Amino acid sequence: MEGILVPITFFICTFAMIFGIRYFNNKEKMAMIERGIDPGIRKSTPQPFLSLKFGLLLVGLGIGLLVALFTVRAVFQGEMTDGEEGQAAAVYFGCIGIFGGLGLIVSYFVEKKWLDQQS
């Protein structure tokens, strides 16, 4: 019974989500027309540093993986027990988070320095 219930539920939920998104998008456009705003023109702010941000994030994640690899190999030499494998996974996730965050912080300071020079 579960084998057929899951796909049906998935289909119904997907349809409801798409219908809801389109419904509220249409209501938003109708409200904009009522207020005299052209709904076709959306003002978007340029994001010139978006690729820099993602690049530094990915570089930080890569460096974090390398540091985690070398840390795990240095600390847990040879065969690992189940508990040590869990600790090794924690080292990987910790290094990914730390170095990814450092990449975003570097991106922030580069953007801030550039904006200060433009002013």
Q: What are the tens digits of pLDDT across the range 28-78?
A: 999 989 998 888 766 666 677 888 889 899 999 999 999 988 888 888 887
Contact yes or no for 100/64 (Cβ under 8 A): yes
Report d(CA 4, CA 19) in Å as an integer: 23
Distance between CA atoms of residues 113 and 119, nearest Å:
10
Is the pTM here over 0.85, yes or no?
Answer: no
